Amino acid sequence: MSLDLPEWPMFGLADDMRPAMRGAVLAKETMSLATLYAVGDGGPRPAGSQMVVTNSAVSGFLSGGCIEADIALHAARVIADGEPRHLVYGQGSPWPDIQLLCGSRLDILVERVLPDDPALAELLIQADARRPVVWITDGRTRRLKSQDAASAPACQTREAPFELRRRSDPGPRLVVFGADPIAIATASLGGQAGFETTLVRPKGPSEPPPLAGVGYSRASSEAALRDIRPDAWTAIAVASHDWELDHEALLAALPSQAGYVGVVGARRRIPERLARLRGAGVSQAALERLHAPIGLDLGGKAPWEIAVSVIAEIIATRADRSTEAALTLEASS
């Protein structure tokens, strides 16, 4: 089997491989899972990045397009014979004709995963439950670890015998409160950026907004967040431009477990907003989590410009909170 990659690598827009894994399970297809586990200086993708290859499809990318076609060839062989491959590109590679423009070295494990693999089934169960886990593999057998997974490094390996551990976090979510063009643009961009996005407009119209991949809620702020159950991988953007609705949304959002809470509004009114929230019983620790005014200061004022600044700040906040990848494992547990 060989899989010709399309001219336009739309498959590389996916970052989370669990949907592709789920698709392979549903189709009862054997897959090759390629995991980038060591990156030299200048690599375009971090350790832990993955690709999923089946006989009919490919998802994800591990470089700037230099090696994906070659990985697909190796992945096809892994599917055929079940033997894991350790691939090296760049310095020390046995394939000098494959040039990395970044000048980096990439080490990749390609392993075969059957659709009935117990670790894969458990991975998808934990993903649905929004619980972080660590995928542990030697290339032939796999298991999951859930205890202390949230604080584990993103990706780490051990040599002799080889073992790779990759943390798998719940997928990012975005909740946007509002109905004006800024809220619509933010929700739309969030959906395109890979966030599971919900637009909340209390007592809004019965018809949802015409935004592909964006959920909709007409519930009150408190009820909407009670249904969504924000966790550390949930970002909340309050952008109703209504003082009372913003206040109600912040009262529900700030005490939650959301990893990010921001609000649109004039900088000069921030002290007044904070004083009112404090008077309503919001703790100082919760208030210190509030990003106000929302978004990175990119200088733009148009709806899409503000939306870009909001999504950029959410991503930056999440990156600051993430554990740096480690490449050595002192001891297994």
Question: CA–CA distance from 280 to each of 111, 222, 243, 276 (Å)?
Answer: 54, 15, 15, 6
Residue 43 pLDDT: 79
Do residues 54 and 113 make contact, with C-beta atoms less than 8 angstroms apart? no
Residues 166-213 have pLDDT tens digits of 999 999 999 999 999 999 999 999 999 999 999 999 999 999 999 999
Is the predicted pLDDT of residue 332 greater than 90, yes or no?
Answer: no
User: End-to-end alpha-carbon separation of the chain, Å?
Assistant: 38
- The tokens describing 130, both together, are 């929004």
- Give the burial string for 288-325 (b: 16+ CB within 10 Å, else e): ebbbbbbbeeeeeeebeebbbbbbebbbebbeeeeeeb
DSSP character at residue 271: H
DSSP character at residue 105: -
How sure is the predictor about 243, in pLDDT bands with cuts at 50, 70 and 90?
very high
Report for 16-20, 317-321, 326-330: range of highest mean pLDDT: 16-20
Transcribe 163-232 into DSSP letters.
EEEEEEPPPPEEEEE--SHHHHHHHHHHHHTT-EEEEE-TT--SSPPS-TTEEEE-S-HHHHHHHH---T
- Give the burial string for 16-49 (b: 16+ CB within 10 Å, else e): bbbebbebbbeeeebbbbbbbbbbbeebbbebbb
Residue 327 pLDDT: 30
Question: CA–CA distance from 177 to each of 116, 202, 252, 299 (Å)?
Answer: 40, 8, 11, 23
Cis geometry, peptide bond prior to residue 161 (ω within 30 degrees of 0): yes
Residue 21 pLDDT: 98
Least confident of 21-30, 36-45, 234-243, 266-275: 36-45
Is the predicted pLDDT of residue 25 greater than 90, yes or no?
Answer: yes
Looking up tokens 């832990």 gives 48
Q: How far out from the chain centre does Cα 76 lie?
A: 27
Instruction: Give the Cα-Cα-Cα angle 279, 283, 285 (nearest 5 degrees).
Output: 140
Residue 104 pLDDT: 79
Q: How far apart are CA 158 and CA 328, in angstroms?
A: 6
Q: Rounded to two decimals, what is the model's pTM?
A: 0.91
Residue 271 pLDDT: 95
- The mean pLDDT of the chain is 92
Residue, of 252 and 44, whose pLDDT is higher: 252
Residue 324 pLDDT: 35
Do residues 217 and 198 make contact, with C-beta atoms less than 8 angstroms apart? yes
Q: Is 126 helix (H, G, I), strand (E, B) or coil?
A: helix
Residue, of 333 and 203, whose pLDDT is higher: 203
Sheet of 85-89, strand order: 58-59, 50-53, 31-39, 106-113, 85-89
Q: How far apart are CA 83 and CA 37, in angstroms?
A: 18
How sure is the predictor about 2, in pLDDT bands with cuts at 50, 70 and 90?
low
Least confident of 160-169, 195-204, 268-277, 312-321: 312-321
Residue 321 pLDDT: 62
Is the predicted pLDDT of residue 107 greater than 70, yes or no?
Answer: yes
Residue of 235, 177, 170 lying closest to 202 (CA atoms): 177
Q: How far apart are CA 164 and CA 159, in angstroms?
A: 9
Residue 91 pLDDT: 79
- The tokens describing 228, both together, are 């969504």
Residues 118-174 have pLDDT tens digits of 999 999 999 999 999 999 999 999 999 999 999 999 999 999 999 999 999 999 999
Residues 215-230 have pLDDT tens digits of 999 999 999 999 999 9
